[in-house]
Amino acid sequence: MSGGGLCWQDVLPGTVTLGASSQSVETGLWRSVRPVLDAGKCVSCLRCWAQCPDASILTGDGGSVLGINMFFCKGCGICAQICPVGAISIRPESDFQGEAVSSGRGVGPLKVGELVG
């Protein structure tokens, strides 16, 4: 047996990993361009919210659009394409070098211990 991992008797059946959720996967890492919301133009019609493939549109009480979750946003640009009032623009990621990702629920990569219950 190589390494210090788990024995076959100790791994969970069915390839199951406990506590794993897409909420912990930072799909925003794939982004090369990003949408930028102009809150002054946005009318909170929620078309972007309905169409976003990664559920990255942040909404508040009453369905108002608050912003875009850059932890998940892959920069596909659908929101900018369908926005009826031009409130979302697409800008290259290089414009934002050095900025920390402040949103999302990043727990980092799963650890070996999380394979067992």
Partner 1 sequence: MAFAEAMRQINPDVVAAYPITPSTEIPMKFAEYVADGLVDTEYITVESEHSAITACVGASVAGARVMTASSANGVGLMHEIFPIAAAFRAPIVFGLVNRSLGAPVNIHCDHSDSMPERDSGWIQIYCEDAQEVYDTALMSVRLAEHPDVLTPVFVCQDGFITSHCYEPVDFLDDEAVTEFVGSREPRYPLLDVDNPVSYGSFVMSEHYFEIKRNQMEGMENALRVCREVSGELARITGRDYPPVERYRTDDAEYVIVIMSSAAGVVKDVADDLRSRGVRAGCLRVRMFRPFPSEEISEALSGVKCAAVLDRSASPGGTPPLAAEVRSALYTSCCAGNRMPSPVQSFIYGLGGRDLYPGDVESVFEGLSRGEHFLAPRYIGLREGTGGEERGGR
Residues that bind partner 1 (CB under 8 A): 3, 5-21, 110, 112, 115
User: Which has the closest alpha carbon to 55: 78, 84, 87, 82?
Assistant: 78
- The residues that bridge with 92 in the sheet, in sequence order, are 33
Do residues 105 and 23 lie in contact, with contact meaning Cβ atoms separated by under 8 Å?
yes
- CB contact set of 28 (below 8 Å; sequence gap of 6+): 69, 70, 71, 72, 73, 74, 101, 104
Please report how close the Cβ of residue 67 comes to partner 1 at its closest, in angstroms: 25
Nearer to partner 1 by C-beta: 23 or 81? 23
Nearer to partner 1 by C-beta: 21 or 102? 21
Please report how close the Cβ of residue 19 comes to partner 1 at its closest, in angstroms: 6
Please report how close the Cβ of residue 105 comes to partner 1 at its closest, in angstroms: 12
